[in-house]
A = this chain, B = another copy of it.
Amino acid sequence: MSLDDAIETVLQKVLQRIRPTEEERAFVEGLMRELEGIARDTIESLDLDVKPYFVGSLAKDTYLAGDHDVDLFLAFPLDTPLEELRERGLELGRAIAERLDSHEVAYAEHPYVRATYRGVKVDLVPCYDVKSWRDVRTAVDRSILHTKWVLDNLRGKNDEVRLLKRFLKGINAYGSEIYVRGFSGYLAEILVIRYGSFLKVLESADFMLRQKVIDPGNWLKREHEVAMKTVGREAEADRPLIVIDPVDPRRNVAANLSWEKYGIFYFKSTQLLENPSEEFFFPMNRKIGNYLSELRRKGTHLVALLFEAPELVDDVLLPQLERSARGFERALSREGFNVLGWNVGRKSGKAFIMLEVDRRERERVTIKPGPEFFTERGRDFYLKNERVWLVGKRLFAEKNVMDDIVEVISELLEKNQVATGKSIRENIRNAEITLDYVPKELEDEAYLFLSREKWNLKG
């Protein structure tokens, strides 16, 4: 079997798993019609001038089998004041949700209603009824334009998008959330439209990085100045890709895509093209080993901080954990410990920060550099220290310090000398600190981290 045939076989198998069945499709379409009816009824009964739009992968028919959450946008006229939109929008969302199974209010830039109906999650999001990028006022307003653009341009490539999304999920590069920094669904759709197919997107992994700017809306001609400003700004920020949003020349669709996730996409694309396998789309669980053996093999040590995770969504919590881990890295390096890597996350209600360090004890005495000897401060330093010597004109003395890394960390936290995330500072202060030990439920995580299998591009 040729390589092309082998790839085709794999893609067909994958498609069988991710393409919605006729049954699911019928269910989803019935659901949408029903929801639209309810929405229109409610709008009318409240005497509002609002249009309901379906957006997202359901509306574009690019959703994966079994993954059919509904995004129903409630578009107010452009002349509605923002305050009124927020108020009436929430009111309307609630009134619609009353007729569904259950609901709660969620918060993004504006509050919106998150409901469930017949086992499906339904988001009811108020927005403006924009016709052009010049009208855009809130972050969600573009969704209607995105949906329209994709529907106008996809030309039956829906399954190609499904393949790309599933591939990105499989290699852990799907989602533009701040703690993923991967490819959004919309970006996947644009790439398929731009390069023509799933495989062509993969084959272009190197080319598009070099080309850097992708402009499917032809904005560089139509709105040269605005588009060039976007390109300049995003190039300055050193993004891997600059994909000018076909519905808004001010926006880089790939603004949240990190180099790490692009790199994974880059290597995995080649791998799939050379060694096709369903595993790229549906990876098996990584082989797990013993984290203690891993520590012995490497001759390093693991410090883990465990604490109650505060009531924060991952979008907020994870960046705070990352910032804190970097804070520990810097603070410990000042104290003579080398942090080889770190890993953060949340598991069974607890948040954790793991630090891989070069040793568990440092020397008990460090050399303290002092001022120049012939100064006021030099004389003080001379008087205050027991053994003092010179290197050039500078005084030096010994300083006794704690040698155990857990004690050092405790003291750093006590003295507030670790730059931690603001909203988890108190939790970290009260964290349980363990050395070369993690509780049962974190053992796999510790192994994946220490072995670097968690991020292994070859895994």
Contacts and interface: CB of A to CB of B under 8 A. Distances in A.
A180 interface: no
Contacts of A459: 387
Nearest to A452: B387
A393 B263 contact: yes
Contact of A390 (B264, B382, B389): B264
B456 A388 contact: yes
B364 A297 contact: yes
Given A260-B392, A373-B267, A458-B386, A341 B367 contact: yes
Interface string A394-430: 0100100001000000000000000000000000000
Interface string A329-354: 00000001010110000000000000
Given A359-B359, A367-B341, A373-B267, A388 B458 contact: yes
Given A341-B367, A358-B363, A389 B267 contact: no
Contacts of A364: 297-300
Contact of A456 (B373, B389, B451): B389
B452 A398 contact: yes
A338 B392 CA distance: 20
A206 interface: yes
Given A209-B374, A340-B367, A367-B340, A389 B455 contact: yes
A215 interface: no
Contacts of A258: 392
A455 B392 CA distance: 12
B338 A336 contact: yes
Contacts of A452: 387, 389, 398
Given A260-B391, A264-B390, A365 B299 contact: yes
A271 to B, nearest CB: 10
A210 B373 CA distance: 13
Nearest to A258: B392
A263 B455 contact: no
A456 B387 contact: yes
Given A299-B365, A387-B453, A390-B455, 4 more contacts: A259-B392, A359-B362, A382-B457, A388-B456
Closest 7 pairs between A and B when the two form their complex, measured CB to CB: A299-B364, A389-B455, A298-B365, A259-B393, A263-B390, A299-B363, A260-B390
